[in-house]
């Protein structure tokens, strides 16, 4: 059976939504730029051999609508390349890589573009979840419960299914983080410590040139060139973060210092069969070993990485302790902390191998971009440490988790 290998990755800088460095860029233009940058790293590849362009986008509407993948293919001059845009929210462009893996394993293609984009700044023109009167009224009671808790706070969380009720499938992500902090007894102090860690590690990684190695500079409409992420902040201290107020509940634990911001960005991964890479004389960056995807209550979606990672690791015949590096997307410290603990990592073990260059709390989380972005970051980290095996995983809105195990080859 053929193996699926990664031969190139690229990503844009990550901008702050609405006010950041990429706010005036269109998602289709930025995605085309980043895919071109990834393909430029594989000059031996004839574009005629590309089987499909698969684009992850968390909320594909407005400027991100019109089957954005097909728009991007045409912008690139690849009228012959089909395109599909899909959403699995925060794991959308890990899902596209999984689809490339499956197609190659099935013998239904040799070359795939797996890309992801999210330009939250473009949401002012609409997105797929923004239309009025589109939610199923059967969830009205659940939505009312969430609204009430958001207004008055809560001391605990219990699964609505225990009462025979529907969970809130439309729940805002910040509310799920607060639920999880209560359910798993994650303290505000632990969350703040983790948030500061992310910023401090990102600051060090910038100084070491780590992030520069994976960022493709992009030009904006005003002619300026952006080459760094907007999010990382120098000199973040625990004392300062402790002073921040909760943002989702009056007695909440989630603050701007221990969760990711809203962002803009795009990333791409070029996936090939091992036979095609060999025929082109390429040394692959990595082999895709296995993937996993699982579901859980939408109201505590942040624990999604746990079962998804266990599934992917089991399919690889490996354990969490076989992983040299682990990247858990930092949507909220409230969900990363219980996720790594439930995966069997002590705080000390997590300190040594989890998000060791900082994560989304510092650099940002453009939903559709994140899967492909983390793939590139994980490979960058494995190369930097001369390590072999890595795990990428994230929680997903609506109550899901997704994961992938990769083996570095060069």
From the DSSP assignment, how many helices (H) and strands (E) are in the chain? Answer: 14, 12
CA angle in degrees (0–180, nearest 5) for 69-329-34: 30
Catalytic residue among 57, 90, 259, 260: 90
Structure tokens at 227: 């080459």
Residue in this structure with the two tokens 């690139």, named with its chain if needed: 76
**Is 90 tagged catalytic?**
yes
Strand 389-396 to 325-328 pairing:
parallel
**Is 259 tagged catalytic?**
no
**Is 395 tagged catalytic?**
yes
- Spatial separation of the C-alpha atoms in residues 408 and 386, rounded to whole Å: 9
- Spatial separation of the C-alpha atoms in residues 168 and 144, rounded to whole Å: 9
Q: CB under 8 Å to 187, separation ≥6 — which residues? A: 253
Query: If you write DSSP's letter for every residue of 173-240 in order, what string do you get?
Result: HHHHHHHHHHHTT--HHHHHHHHHHHHHHHHHHHHTTHHHHHBPPEE-TTS-EE-S-S---TT--HHH
Structure tokens at 44: 């031996």
Catalytic residue among 57, 260, 357, 365: 365
Catalytic residue among 57, 259, 260, 395: 395
Instruction: Give me the active site residues, please.
Output: 90, 365, 395
């Amino acid at each position: 059976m053929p193996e699926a290998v990664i031969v190139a990755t690229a990503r844009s800088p990550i901008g702050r939504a609405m006010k950041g460095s990429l706010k005036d860029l269109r998602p289709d233009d930025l995605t085309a730029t980043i895919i071109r940058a990834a393909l430029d790293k594989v000059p031996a590849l004839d574009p005629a051999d590309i089987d499909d362009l698969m684009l992850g986008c968390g909320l594909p509407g407005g400027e991100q609508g019109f089957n954005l993948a097909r728009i991007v293919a045409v912008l690139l001059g690849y009228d012959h390349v089909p395109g599909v845009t899909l959403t699995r929210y925060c794991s959308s462009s890990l899902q596209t890589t999984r689809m490339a893996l499956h197609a190659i394993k099935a013998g239904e293609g040799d070359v795939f573009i797996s890309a992801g984009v999210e330009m939250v700044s473009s949401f002012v023109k609409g997105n797929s979840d923004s239309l009025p009167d589109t939610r199923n009224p059967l969830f009205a009671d659940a939505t009312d419960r969430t609204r009430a808790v958001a207004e008055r706070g809560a001391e605990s969380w219990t699964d609505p299914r225990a009462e025979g009720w529907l969970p809130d499938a439309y729940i805002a992500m910040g509310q799920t983080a607060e639920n999880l902090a209560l359910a798993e007894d994650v303290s505000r102090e632990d969350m703040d410590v983790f948030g500061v860690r992310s910023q401090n590690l990102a600051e060090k990684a910038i100084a070491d040139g780590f992030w520069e190695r994976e960022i493709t500079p992009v030009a904006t409409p005003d002619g300026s060139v952006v080459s760094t992420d907007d999010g990382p902040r120098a000199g973040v201290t625990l004392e300062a973060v402790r002073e921040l107020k909760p943002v989702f509940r009056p007695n909440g634990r989630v603050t701007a210092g221990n969760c990711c911001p809203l962002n803009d960005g795009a990333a791409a991964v070029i996936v090939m069969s091992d036979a095609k890479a060999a025929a082109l004389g390429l040394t692959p960056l990595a082999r895709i070993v296995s993937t996993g995807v699982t579901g859980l209550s939408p109201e505590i979606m942040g624990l999604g990485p746990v079962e998804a990672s266990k599934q992917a690791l089991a399919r690889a015949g490996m354990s969490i302790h076989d992983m040299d590096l682990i990247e858990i997307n930092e949507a909220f410290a409230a969900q990363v902390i219980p996720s790594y603990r439930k995966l069997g990592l002590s705080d000390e073990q997590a300190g040594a191998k989890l998000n060791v260059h900082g994560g989304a709390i510092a650099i940002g989380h453009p939903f559709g971009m994140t899967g492909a972005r983390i793939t590139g970051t994980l490979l960058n980290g494995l190369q930097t440490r001369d390590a072999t095996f890595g795990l990428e995983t994230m929680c997903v809105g609506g109550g899901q988790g997704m994961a992938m195990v990769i083996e570095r080859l060069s």
